[in-house]
Amino acid sequence: MSFAQAKEMVRRKFEKEKRSSDHDFTHVLRVLKYTEMLAKKEKADGEIVRYAALFHDYIREARHEIKGDHANLSAKAVKKILPRYVAKEKIPAILRAIRSHSRRSGIKPRTIEDKIMWDADKLDGFGPMGIARFLIIGDSLGLTIKRGVKNARDQITGVYNTDFAYTKTAQNLIEKRLKKSMRMCREILEEAIE
């Protein structure tokens, strides 16, 4: 089977589950776009990161509420699916990239493919789309716009104080996106009323 067939299978699954728009199939597509770009620039195995991106949030409950770690649950679920699409020898690397993309898993990205998967997922969390996703999550938790934006700002501020991205390419992109995000937060907070 082809990558296009795998992509269509994941799209149908997400559509059937009626995923929240903070982690719907468009999130997967954006992460996929980032992994492909980073893999090319960082000279990584494009097939590993493409499949890791496609399946990285395969198991994820609505409203950001999941019992357990979604990265490990996703890897466990797709372990049975991947042999239909990729060579056996690539499966462990794909599963590791899926497992290490989330802070909650406690698994540090080690290979260049793990690092690209981490960076691509985080790139989608910041910038204008990241702010929109924070607001969607905040709404699902019953937060006001002001509280949702404050949460976004706090997360962004935390990123400024850490070594957040692993690849040089992502570090440069995240720096630009973080500045734009901070401006957006400031502007929204100036107008928001609680």
Q: What is the pLDDT of residue 63?
A: 44
CB neighbourhood size of 103 (10 A): 12
Q: How confident is the model at residue 62 (pLDDT cuts 50, 70, 90)?
A: very low
Q: What is the pLDDT of residue 157?
A: 72
Q: How confident is the model at residue 18 (pLDDT cuts 50, 70, 90)?
A: confident
| Helical residues (DSSP H) of 43-167, grouped into ranges | 46-55, 70-78, 91-99, 112-123, 128-140, 145-160
Q: Please check whether residue 95 is in contact with residue 110, taking contact to mean a CB–CB distance below 8 angstroms.
A: no
The dihedral through the CA atoms of 161, 27, 48, 169 has a sign that is negative
CA atoms within 13 A on the CB side of 94: 28
Q: Please check whether residue 99 is in contact with residue 108, taking contact to mean a CB–CB distance below 8 angstroms.
A: no
Q: Does residue 118 register a pLDDT over 80?
A: yes
How remote is the C-alpha of 158 from its chain's centroid?
17
Q: How many residues does the chain have?
A: 194
Tens digit of each residue's pLDDT (9 = 90 or more) over 130-159 = 777 777 777 777 888 888 888 887 877 776
Name the one residue in this structure whose structure tokens are 């795998």. Answer: 6
Q: How confident is the model at residue 22 (pLDDT cuts 50, 70, 90)?
A: low
Amino acid at 107: I
On the 0-12 / 13-18 / 19+ scale of CB atoms within 10 A, 172 is exposed
Q: Please check whether residue 30 is in contact with residue 129, taking contact to mean a CB–CB distance below 8 angstroms.
A: yes
Task: Look up the CATH architecture of domain 1-107.
Answer: Orthogonal Bundle (1.10)
Q: What number is the average pLDDT over the span 165-186?
A: 83
Highest mean pLDDT among 13-22, 144-153, 166-175: 166-175
